[in-house]
Structure 1
Amino acid sequence: MLIIVYGEDSFRVQEKVRTLTEAFRKKFDPSGMNLATFGSPSTGSGHIEIGEVMQSARSMPFMGEKRMVVVRDLISKSKKGDEETWAALKEVPDSTIAVLWESDEAKTIEKKPLFKALKDAADLHLYPFPALEGSALTKWVTERVVSRGGKIAPAAAFELSERVGGDLWHADAEICKLVAFANQSQIDVAHVRELVRPSFEGEIFAFIDAVSQRNGKEAFRLLSQERSAGSEDHYLLAMLARQIRILLGVRAMMDENPRVTKDEIANELALHPFVAQKSMAAAKRFTLPELMRAHDAIFEREVGVKSGMDPAAAVDLMAAELSA
């Protein structure tokens, strides 16, 4: 059996791998003698030796029915031509469960030649975990609260998802706090607003409002606030890029059809209806050419950062240019 767990949502990826290994231990390996892990950051080993992995995968279980071999970031680190080398993973014994744990973006993993080569394995199970957003994120928040023994109002679930964004590590910590605070009562919007500080993803519309009004002072105050709270500039730049791309798409649809509805925009751009509504209001403050220039500018900043530009300088330049 070959299992590939992959995607940029590290919380759900790690949770899935933990669920698989715990179920394996409980059912097949209480002694812990038949579980091997390769490429684990905790071991300090980034290099994966094919000989060691395949020897482990082909070995018979020690006093048990099954053996599990977990390999981290094999596909993401693979190069062209590696698919021939690692094709043997498709033919591991029936007694072996091979798990590939990948942390790159789901779309990136799916484009890798090794991923494509492994897709025709006879007993293959794929678990992609792309980043959650919109209604999918709100649904996850609701289900997570229930799994933690709590109850949450739909409006509160949406408010929480807006405040924490797609960071499920942060979301889960806040959910634990809210469930404990509510003490068997339903979590409502007031609870969320009282206890959960918005992330920059939640504050992005305040930033857009500031730059649309050419209020550079307020825009930089918001950036300073986020940096003081621990937000890294790579994250801030990514959030700005995402919002500008959303606004560009929204503005283009509004220009093409002045009667377009928030639901039509939400469906076309895969946004939560509330986000679509707020984006429509924000997009009205910009012309399409302005947003196209902003899109080109932030693309240049992203390329610059990848080439060595200081990400803090890139964020500050974007804020200054948008506010000018």
Structure 2
Amino acid sequence: MIEYIELEEKIKSSKFDNCYVFCGADEALMKEKVKAIHGKVLQGAFADLNYMQFDGLTADMEAVVNACETIPFMDEKKVVVVFRATFLGEGEDRDSAKKYAAVSKYIENPASHCIFIMYHVFENDREKPSSKIKKLEKKACVVKFDKLKGFNLEKKVKSMFEEKGKNIGKIELKLFCDNLENNMHIVQNEVEKLCTYAYDREITKEDILLMLPQKSDNDIFNLVDTISQKKVEKAIDILNELIFKGEKVPYILYMVERQFNLILQLKYGLEEGKNKDALAKELKLNPYICEKMIAQSRKFTMKGIKKAVQYCLNTEEALKSSSVNSKTEMELLILNTITA
């Protein structure tokens, strides 16, 4: 198993494996490397005809294998990609097992003219490569896409500015990286926005502070606050924005549930006569955040907040079923908590 940085060096040197398995929490990085391989391998007039992609959730693996086996059109190579390859996760349902068996068998003796890529996006940063992925290491190049941090993140972001024809100072670069969510979809959007805003001048610290979006924790606070104000449309807009930024629904639910549980504990504490400082120390909250949450807690009745916590638990249970639409379940949670 290799890291993202090592893969990047191999692509620069035009050293390609026959089969790749990408896994990690940052889908944007995976898509970027798929595009880089595609761009290096397929450069002729028929490049688009020799690139095929399949949705792992719905794809027929026989069709995928046939696409790999079919010779390229007027070229030496072709690239076949299976995205959302959830069958590479730990799940053991019949469909996933069938898909996994098919690709596992194919990559034992893959077509030499095809570069076959599968990628599986983790639900969160804590998830590890599954036993299924580890079994494929002897047959394919497995690449783990951990989120970039520190120097590697700054180096990557600096190159993104340079591609836009913009230089950014070391202090400004660090400020930008330290105050932005570590998600390449968001980083790409913010680099584009900042370059457009600064246009033909140097990027300043003031530009960065003005243009940076709020972090997800603030968005979660705003989502719960909007629910407390019974503003359905605005709450759903915030939910959609979080999903657009790349946050996974289980993480959003976890943070919303955590917020409601804190509010419930604050309400109990206030009823017991505890003050802000005592509650902040007890719940390990920043005093300023604690003050804001106390104000938020007063917008809920005790009965309403207890129901909200229970609705979160019900939604968590529902999301464990593969048959439900996670976004729809979150929208139902918002509606239920607003009417609680």
TM-score interval w.r.t. the shorter chain? 0.5 to 0.7
Go from structure 1 to structure 2 and tell me whether the alpha carbon gap of 1:136 and 1:81 turns closer, same or farther (over 3 Å shift).
farther
- The amino acid that maps onto 1:241 is L
- The amino acid that maps onto 1:52 is N
Deviation at 1:178, TM superposition (A): 0.6
What pairs up with 1:98-113 in 2 under 5 angstroms? 98-105=115-122, 110-111=129-130, 113=132
Deviation at 1:11, TM superposition (A): 1.9
Q: Distance in 2 between matches of 1:311 and 1:284?
A: 22
Q: Distance in 1 between matches of 2:73 and 2:233?
A: 56
- The amino acid that maps onto 1:22 is G
Aligned residues: CA RMSD: 5.0
Q: Distance in 2 between matches of 1:19 and 1:34?
A: 14
Go from structure 1 to structure 2 and tell me whether the alpha carbon gap of 1:136 and 1:39 turns closer, same or farther (over 3 Å shift).
same
Q: 1:92 and 2:110 equivalent?
A: yes
- The C-alpha deviation readout for 1:247-305, integer Å capped at 9, x for no partner, is 789x9xxxxxx8999xxxxxxxxxxxxxx97998689979xxxx999776523223346
Instruction: Tell me if the contact between 1:137 and 1:166 (Cα under 8 Å) persists in the aligned partners.
Output: no
Q: 1:216 and 2:228 equivalent?
A: yes
What pairs up with 1:77-156 in 2 under 5 angstroms? 77=87, 79-86=96-103, 87-92=105-110, 95-105=112-122, 110-111=129-130, 113=132, 115-121=133-139, 124-129=140-145, 132=147, 139=154, 141=157, 144-148=160-164, 149-151=166-168, 152-156=172-176
Q: Give 5+ residue unaligned stretches, structure 2.
A: 1-17, 88-94, 266-280, 298-304
Go from structure 1 to structure 2 and tell me whether the alpha carbon gap of 1:156 and 1:61 turns closer, same or farther (over 3 Å shift).
closer
Q: 1:76 and 2:86 equivalent?
A: yes
Q: Give 5+ residue unaligned stretches, structure 1.
A: 252-257, 262-275
Q: 1:20 and 2:20 equivalent?
A: no
Q: Distance in 2 between matches of 1:318 and 1:92?
A: 52
Range with greater deviation from structure 2 (71-80 or 228-237): 228-237
Out of 197, 200, 203, the residue aligned to residue 181 of structure 1 is 197
Q: How many residues align?
A: 271
Deviation at 1:47, TM superposition (A): 3.0
Q: Distance in 2 between matches of 1:7 and 1:128?
A: 6
Go from structure 1 to structure 2 and tell me whether the alpha carbon gap of 1:96 and 1:228 turns closer, same or farther (over 3 Å shift).
same
Go from structure 1 to structure 2 and tell me whether the alpha carbon gap of 1:230 and 1:137 turns closer, same or farther (over 3 Å shift).
farther
Q: Distance in 2 between matches of 1:300 and 1:18?
A: 40
Q: Structure 1 length as normaliser, TM-score?
A: 0.59
Instruction: Tell me if the contact between 1:150 and 1:179 (Cα under 8 Å) persists in the aligned partners.
Output: no
Partner of 2:7: none
- The C-alpha deviation readout for 1:146-198, integer Å capped at 9, x for no partner, is 55334134234333x1xxx455334312311212322341342x324434553
Instruction: Tell me if the contact between 1:90 and 1:118 (Cα under 8 Å) persists in the aligned partners.
Output: no
Q: Distance in 2 between matches of 1:22 and 1:72?
A: 17
Q: Distance in 1 between matches of 2:238 and 2:223?
A: 16
Out of 220, 233, 255, the residue aligned to residue 243 of structure 1 is 255
- The amino acid that maps onto 1:177 is K
Q: Secondary structure of 1:185's match? A: coil
Q: Structure 2 length as normaliser, TM-score?
A: 0.57
Go from structure 1 to structure 2 and tell me whether the alpha carbon gap of 1:230 and 1:243 turns closer, same or farther (over 3 Å shift).
closer
Go from structure 1 to structure 2 and tell me whether the alpha carbon gap of 1:203 and 1:278 turns closer, same or farther (over 3 Å shift).
farther
Partner of 2:60: 47
Partner of 2:240: 231
Partner of 1:254: none
Q: Secondary structure of 1:194's match? A: helix
Partner of 1:10: 27
Partner of 1:313: 332
Q: 1:303 and 2:317 equivalent?
A: yes
